[in-house]
């Protein structure tokens, strides 16, 4: 599901919380070593995300936030912020080659490039895989 979050909207907040769970509290974030990814360079995406991303000439970048039941992929189209909601129960994480990952959920997907020396990004992907595994194991997703 893609949402335009340009304006604070209780309906959008409720939808995100219902699908992915409420954001982690401060202490939990500290214990996890943070819940946000570094900026990721998108190289490919499904048709709907691509249409939004290609409406301007800016670099196609995104970031990811971990939630208890899934992830939020945030990106911009022109000046509007959008989020792509990906629940763990439908999330498929694939390493395409040494420097590309693909995240897929339902009809949406993104592919992003990670250089070998971007250790923090590789560590975040490992944290994402562990978070998904734990959520599915506990039955939260």
Biggest distance spanned by C-alpha atoms of the chain: 43
Identify the burial level of 7 via C-beta atoms within 10 angstroms of its C-beta, where 0-12 means exposed, 13-18 middle and 19 or more buried: exposed
Note down pLDDT in tens along the chain; length 141 residues.
999 888 878 899 999 999 999 999 999 999 999 999 999 999 999 999 989 888 877 788 999 999 999 999 999 888 889 999 999 999 999 999 888 999 999 999 999 999 888 889 999 999 999 999 999 888 766
pLDDT of res. 75? 93
Domain count, the chain: 1
Cα dihedral across residues 111, 63, 140, 106: positive or negative? negative
Over its C-alpha atoms, the chain yields an Rg (Å, rounded) of 15
Rounded Cα distance, 101 and 15, in Å? 27
pLDDT in tens, 62-92: 999 999 999 999 998 888 899 999 999 999 9
Of 54, 44, 111, 43, nearest in space to 77 by CA: 54
Global pTM? 0.90
Report the pLDDT value the prediction gives residue 38, as an integer from 0 to 100: 94
Return the CATH number at 119.
Answer: 2.30.29.30
Nearest to 68 by CA among 107, 101, 103, 32: 32
Task: Residue 58: give the domain boundaries.
Answer: 2-138
- In angstroms, rounded to a whole number, what is the distance separating the alpha carbons of residues 57 and 133? 37
Q: What is the pLDDT of residue 10?
A: 87
Residue-level pLDDT at 23: 94
């Amino acid at each position: 599901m893609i949402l335009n979050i340009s304006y604070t909207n209780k309906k959008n907040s409720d939808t995100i919380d219902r699908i992915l769970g409420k954001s982690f509290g401060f202490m939990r974030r500290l214990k996890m070593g943070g819940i946000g990814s570094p900026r990721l360079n998108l190289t490919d995406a499904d048709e709907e995300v691509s249409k939004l991303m290609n409406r301007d000439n800016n670099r196609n970048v995104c970031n990811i936030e971990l939630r208890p039941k899934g992830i939020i992929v945030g990106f911009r189209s022109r000046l509007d912020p959008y989020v792509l909601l990906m629940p763990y129960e439908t999330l498929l994480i694939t390493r395409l080659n040494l420097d590309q990952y693909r995240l897929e959920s339902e009809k949406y997907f993104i592919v992003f490039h990670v250089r070998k020396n971007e250790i923090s990004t590789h560590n975040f992907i490992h944290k994402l895989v562990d978070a998904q595994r734990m959520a599915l194991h506990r039955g939260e997703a």
